[in-house]
Each structure stands twice: as structure tokens, then as C-alpha cells.
Amino acid sequence: MRIASAASAFPQHYYSQEMLLAALQEYWGEKVANPNVLRRLHRHVGVEGRFLALPKEEYVKMRTWGEANHHWIRIAKELGEKAVTSALAAAGLHGRNLGAFFFASVTGISSPSIDALLINQMGLCRGIRRVPIFGLGCVAGAAAISRAADYVRAYPDQVALVLSVELCSLTLQREDVSMANLISAGLFGDGAAAVIVTGDECGESGPKILATRSVFYPNTEEMMGWDITEKGFRIILSRDLPDLVRKNLAHDLDGFLAERGLTRSDIKSWVLHTGGPKILEATADALELKNGQLDVSWDCLRRTGNLSSASVLVVLEEVMKNRRPEPGTLGLLAAMGPGFCAEFVLLEW
């Protein structure tokens, strides 16, 4: 099993963090009692700029969840096709080669799901197996790669597509001035990413997927997710998340690696979700990562913000295209998200 390619796609509207801060101050106005709080939050999330699904002026005009969701469907199809087309080209494949399609998103709803709409839009194979994924949030990109690996392990002559599209800006709640929503408004961005996973009979290109592991933490559903109301998606974001990472991540990863006779010191390449400064710092503390081992994640966070499930795929693309390790290097792709849960993918470059 191998990851043959990874490719991202972004909306055309890119704004600096300062421009977005000014727009949000106008958007919320007097609803935010202390504007300095919003300013301080935005300047401490480690983000320099983000892509938005729509021009920033359009968000003030939206009145309903349905209107935002219609934009989500339209733009998800546009970005999804761009990402898939680029990933297929990078892998030297055609859409007719795809045996399964794993689609992940947690920022909009469509039935038929976006994967079905793209099959029609792109003329993909009628026999393709569809697996739409909703509700896994930030972990979904890594989890979808794991499920795609399960598929090609069972069908080694097949190719699986993973696509994540997250348009976080379209979930923004005007009435919600909670700390969680103020933080998320400064942290999350919009974008899409696609990954091609191939079976053992499909060539020798890309890092090998050696093993995967899913970890679920019981009774932690209040840590992260959505409170879904008549107005749309209201963010749930616990301040205790970094503590959960520090208490559990190293133990669970060490157990996963030990089953293969490995330790953390054997891992030389880290492809980790860009959860935000506190999550990245907690991850570095828990795993004792130093000397720039998380630089790629920090750089992606700085350029595009947290893209939820697409983030880890964008980090993967950056590593594959610009910071590829030496052949034989062991690496780990990992993310955490609502559940609360973690996903590990052991790679050999």
C-alpha cells in the first residue's frame, strides 16, 4: 500500500490575518464587549493569512444556514474537482482507475454527498465504491487514509481516492461571541486536499503505508465538535484539549510503535495536523519533538490556518513535494479530532 500523490486546492480569496481581524470586528460590532480580546486571540493563533470560500464582504449578507450550505455545496464541488484532478495527474492516473472514493467534510451537508456529485461532474467510474465521512472533524483526513489503506489491502489491484473539503468560514455564527467561536474565527480557514492510495499491485511510487491505528477516548465527546442548531454549526472547543493530548498521545503512539518493534526515536518524519499553537505545543511536549521536527505543520498553519480534516493532507502534500525524506525513512502521519479520537499512519518513505 502506498500514497501515490497528494494535492491541495484553495479558493481565490486570500486575506491577511489583519484584514480578517478588521472584518470580524465590523461583523460582530458591539456584540464583542472587549475588542482587545478578539485582537489578542487573533494575534496568538500562529496564522498569517487564510483563504475564504467567499469574498469577505459576502459574509455580512448571509442570513440563513441554508444559504451558507448552498455556497458550501457549490464551492466544495469546484475545489474538490481541482484537488482530485491534480492528485490524479501527479500519480499518473485517470479517474477511471479509481475503485473507491472516501470523502470527508464536517463543514456542510449534502445528500447525495459531494462524492456523488463529483462522480457525475467528472465522469468517474460508475462502479466506484463511495464512502462519505461526516462528523470526524480534524481527524478525518488521517482516518480516511487509514480506511483507504484498508480498502487497497483487501483489493491490492485497486486505487482509492481520499478527498477532504472544509469551508470553515461558512459555519461562522454571528450571534455566537463565545470564546470558542472567537478563537475558531481566527484559526480556521478554507481549502481542499486529495490523496491517492494504491494497492501493492499498482506500482512502486510514493511512501509505503506500513500500518494504521485508531484510538478512541471514551466519554470525551464534549471536547470538540458541533452543537447543531437551527442557525447551523456552533463550535464546541474545550480548553482541556491540550491536557488530553499531553496525557494520552505518547502512551498510545508508543504502544502502536512497540507492536512493530519500534520507538519514537525511529520516526524521522512527522506529518501532523495543524491543530493550532496550543495543540502543536502539547504534541511537541508529549512526544518530545524538538529541533524543528514540527516545522512543516507550523508553516502550513501560518500560511492557511487550520483546515480541519484537510490540514494533515496539506502537510502531507508539502512533505511529498518539497521536503521529501530519504528513501527508507520511517514517518508518522497523525491527527486528532471529535470523539475524541486519534489516528496514526506509519509510513516508510
Residue positions annotated with a catalytic role:
138
Q: Which amino acid is at 154?
A: A
- Structure-derived torsion over alpha carbons of residues 215, 220, 225, 227, reported in degrees to the nearest 10: 150
DSSP letter for 324, please. Answer: P
SS3 state at 105: coil
Q: Which amino acid is at 144?
A: A
Q: Is 218 left (phi over 0), alpha (psi -120 to 50) or beta?
A: beta
Nine-digit cell string for 209: 503505508
What is the rounded distance in angstroms from the CA atom of residue 100 to the CA atom of residue 157? 12
* Residue among 83, 99, 64 at smallest CA distance from 198: 99
What is the rounded distance in angstroms from the CA atom of residue 314 to the CA atom of residue 311? 5
- C-alpha torsion sign, points 144, 148, 153, 155: positive
What is the rounded distance in angstroms from the CA atom of residue 52 to the CA atom of residue 267? 35
